């Protein structure tokens, strides 16, 4: 059934709720991260201090980080370069090429990689198709493009079809 490819392995409200030790205990060595509504609010370049702190803790753990985003290169460089995280811009998620490129950069296999993002039809679908551990950020009221409203309604319907585990 198609819905199994859309089911995240884990859901959280915010990036900072992800337990780094829990990921490491599951054998995760590489963490792929989306940009908008995951690291920063959509259309923002300002990374909150709590997110910067969480990213620093993740980087000093045994995790390797890489951004995988559909955002344009200029936006990614302005936001992410100061954080010292490698990235794949214009990844065209859910197509698999961007995910594979990021895993190659980190030197990880799908079974030891997790993807964190806010969209079921890009982040979760792409991760699940590759066998990557998928983590969905479910922001209460994300600010985003007007055309995402229809997609978000469809995502709510998908989430009602199954109850992912919270960790």
Partners of 66 in the β-ladder: 32
Pick from 133, 122, 113: nearest CA to 35: 122
Q: Identify whether 35 is part of a domain.
A: yes
Overall domain count for the chain: 1
Q: Identify whether 154 is part of a domain.
A: yes
- Average pLDDT of the chain to the nearest whole number: 87
Q: Domain span at residue 55?
A: 2-161
Rounded-to-integer distance, Cα 57 and Cα 74, Å: 26
**Rounded to the nearest 5°, which phi and psi values hold at 93?**
-65, 140
The model carries a pTM of 0.84
Task: Give Dmax (Cα) for the chain.
Answer: 42
Q: Identify whether 82 is part of a domain.
A: yes
Q: And the tokens for 102?
A: 């990021």
Pick from 100, 93, 96, 136: nearest CA to 116: 136
For residue 111, what is the DSSP state? G
Which pLDDT belongs to residue 163? 59
In this prediction, residue 5 has a pLDDT band, given cuts at 50, 70 and 90, of: confident
Check whether 150 has a pLDDT greater than 60. Answer: no
Q: With pLDDT > 90 as the criterion, what percentage of the chain qualifies? A: 67
pLDDT digits (tens, 9 = 90+) for 64-117: 999 999 999 999 999 998 899 999 999 999 999 999 999 999 999 999 999 999
Segment 23-52 shows an average pLDDT of: 92
Kindly report the CATH number assigned to the domain that includes residue 60.
3.40.50.1000
Q: Identify whether 166 is part of a domain.
A: no
pLDDT digits (tens, 9 = 90+) for 123-140: 999 999 999 999 999 865
* Residues 6 or more apart in contact with residue 58 via CB below 8 angstroms: 20, 31, 65
Q: Identify whether 10 is part of a domain.
A: yes
């Amino acid at each position: 059934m198609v819905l199994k490819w859309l089911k995240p392995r884990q859901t959280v409200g915010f990036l900072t709720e992800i337990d780094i030790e829990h990921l490491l205990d599951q054998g995760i060595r590489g963490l792929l991260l989306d940009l908008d509504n995951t690291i920063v609010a959509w259309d923002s370049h300002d990374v909150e201090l709590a997110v910067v702190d969480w990213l620093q803790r993740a980087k000093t753990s045994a995790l390797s980080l890489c951004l995988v985003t559909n955002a344009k290169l200029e936006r990614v460089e302005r936001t992410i370069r100061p954080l010292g995280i490698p990235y794949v811009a214009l990844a065209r998620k859910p197509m698999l090429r961007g995910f594979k490129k990021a895993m190659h950069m980190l030197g990880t296999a799908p079974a030891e990689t997790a993807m964190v993002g806010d969209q079921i039809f890009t982040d979760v679908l792409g991760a699940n198709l590759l066998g990557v551990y998928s983590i969905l950020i479910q922001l209460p009221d994300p600010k985003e493009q007007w055309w995402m409203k229809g997609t978000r309604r469809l995502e709510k319907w998908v989430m009602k079809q199954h109850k992912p585990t919270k960790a």
